[in-house]
A and B are shown apart, each in its own frame.
Chain A
Amino acid sequence: DQQVKQNSPSLSVQEGRISILNCDYTNSMFDYFLWYKKYPAEGPTFLISISSIKDKNEDGRFTVFLNKSAKHLSLHIVPSQPGDSAVYFCAARAQYSSASKIIFGSGTRLSIRP
């Protein structure tokens, strides 16, 4: 049972445009969500997170939106840059504690074309 889903395995966006990566979850107990960026043969790098008490969190070019009623979140990157090309993972956890495990989605490979 996949609790965190990223239905788009890949996405291609032109440099300078907005990249929108989507994520859906099924477990209503999740109350904290994270986005990670990953390059091949490396560990994930934290990008941005959002608590369930918010519907938006912004950090520079990255904004995460949370729609609790739809159990959906999205990551917006604007403007997209070539260095953004990587695999992006959505993750969620059920308790507001770093001692709690996080569950990852399957990832979306973002390619930024010139």
Chain B
Amino acid sequence: GAVVSQHPSRVICKSGTSVKIECRSLDFQATTMFWYRQFPKQSLMLMATSNEGSKATYEQGVEKDKFLINHASLTLSTLTVTSAHPEDSSFYICSASNRRTNGYTFGSGTRLTVV
């Protein structure tokens, strides 16, 4: 079945540094990738939608200069949290659209802790 590999699964970084999270679709082409953020015991909040080869579309309230999204190929999308602050600590999840199944495949998530 369709698989999305997300790395790293856990990362701890210092305030002010940047962290890159990668999502790869392993056996299908992900023309569209979605990035979500989940706070403890809350819903998955959509941050942005990225289409291969074009700029990402950010949801209202999400800082595009802070959360840089790159979707340079049909199998790879990255989210970079720049100048991380403790309030950026959260669970980040990517989701790739799968045209073959008209569905979505989620990555396993990344737990980011900023200290």
A interface list, Cβ under 8 A from B:
9, 34, 36, 41-46, 49, 89, 96-99, 101-107
Q: Is the interface of A mostly helix, strand, loop or mixed?
A: loop
Given A103-B46, A106-B43, A44-B106 contact (CB < 8 Å): yes
Judge whether A99 and B44 touch: CB under 8 Å: no
**Contact-residue bracket for chain B:** 20 to 34
Contact surface of B with A, Cβ cutoff 8 Å: 4, 6, 9, 31-32, 34, 36, 41-46, 49, 51, 91, 93, 95, 97-99, 101-109, 111
Within the complex, which residue of B104, B108, B109 is in contact with A102, where a contact is CB–CB below 8 Å?
B104
Identify A98's interface contact among B4, B45, B91, B99, CB under 8 A: B99
Q: Are A99 and B93 in contact (CB under 8 A)?
A: no
User: In the complex, are the beta carbons of A101 and B34 less than 8 A apart?
Assistant: yes
Is there contact, CB below 8 Å, between B104 and A99? Answer: no
Q: Which residues of chain B come closer than 8 Å to A101, judged between CB atoms?
A: 34, 46, 49
Q: What chain A residues lie within 8 Å of B106 (beta carbons)?
A: 36, 43-45
